[in-house]
Amino acid sequence: MVDSAARLCPENIAENLEIQPQSEVGSFDFFSLALDESCDVRDTAQLLIFLRGITRDFQLTEKLATIRPMKGTTTGSDLFTELELIDLQSDSLLKEHFKFASLLEFYSALKEENFSNIKRHAQKMLVLFGSTYICEQTFSVMKFTKSRYRSSLTDEHLSAVLRISTSGIQPDFDGLVKAQQRLDFSH
């Protein structure tokens, strides 16, 4: 058995030791968490979370729940986000929901009172453009529209043509026709 253990890599052993306290949490009548952060030799903040729990028959357990590197800043919000992330990762129902839902459905389904920091972070990430594809597509339309054969288009007209050709919004044709009719009667 010692030979087998010597061949295991430290990451596998550490992962096993991290999973065990997560499975014990359900048997605790009460538990508390201790959080502390400190910087390592390379000045990366490391967050330690210790778990202390007690069962109905007074079995007391105290273990290192996790250690997380905190890249960038380490504010109180960062610490709460890490706690939310731990809750999220240890919830088997949410893991199942994540497998079958889109990212938008998954993050919108998270309870605000439990995952407010993660939801806010997800919103910030989901709003970012994944590429410049939409810009390149619009430039292609612009080059096709304003070619050497149609080079006298004004900037305003070109802008209008680009907006019409790239918009997914349906124009209010009824409102436009009514407005045009009012202008025609005023002459």
Q: Would you kindly state where each structural domain of the chain is located, as residue ranges?
A: 2-89, 91-128, 133-185
pTM for the structure as a whole = 0.49
pLDDT in tens, 28-87: 888 777 777 777 666 677 777 787 888 888 888 887 777 777 776 666 677 777 778 878
pLDDT value for 161? 82
Instruction: Strand 30-39: give its sheet, edge to edge.
Output: 30-39, 45-54, 60-70
84-132 pLDDT, tens digit each: 887 888 788 888 888 899 988 999 999 998 888 888 888 888 887 777 7
The one-letter amino acid code at 3 reads: D
User: In the 3-class helix/strand/coil scheme, how is 44-104 assigned residue by residue?
Assistant: CEEEEEEEEEECCCCCEEEEEEEEEEECCCCCHHHHHHHHHHHHHHCCHHHHHHHHHCCHH
Lowest-confidence pick of 14-18, 55-59, 151-155: 14-18
